[in-house]
Amino acid sequence: MRRFEFHFLAILGYSYQWHTDSAGQAVTASGAYTFDPELGFVASFDVGRQGLISGKDLLAIAADDWSQPSSWQVAKQVARLALQPLLGDKPLTSRTLFQQFKDAQS
């Protein structure tokens, strides 16, 4: 589902660089980042800040490595943050759409 949401965002002109931060610097596995829908991933040096995204998770997502549960959580968080300004208070019903498609295939 996350792939669909990120593909949808890319079609709308909102694709994000998972390997680089908003300043054009390479994402590092030991780095911490925040996500801004307009800027992308912003390096953070405030290690005590809530909601930081691990560089390790960003690099895993960039490599299409979904073996870590935290990568799934980060992808969900980023997708929600990226879609929220576009959807406003309207819910995205991707899960319902995919379930209907799955049910129709059965």
Quote the CA–CA distance of 104 and 70 in Å, as a whole number: 31
CATH architecture observed for domain 2-105: Up-down Bundle (1.20)
Scan for tokens 């610097």, then name that residue.
25
pLDDT of residue 30: 93
> pLDDT grade, residue 26 (50/70/90)?
very high
pLDDT of residue 73: 92
Question: Where is mean pLDDT largest: 5-19, 67-81, 90-104?
Answer: 67-81
Domain ranges of the chain: 2-105
Q: pLDDT tens, 58-77? A: 999 999 898 989 988 998 88
Cα Rg of the chain (Å, integer): 15
Q: What is the DSSP letter of 20?
A: B
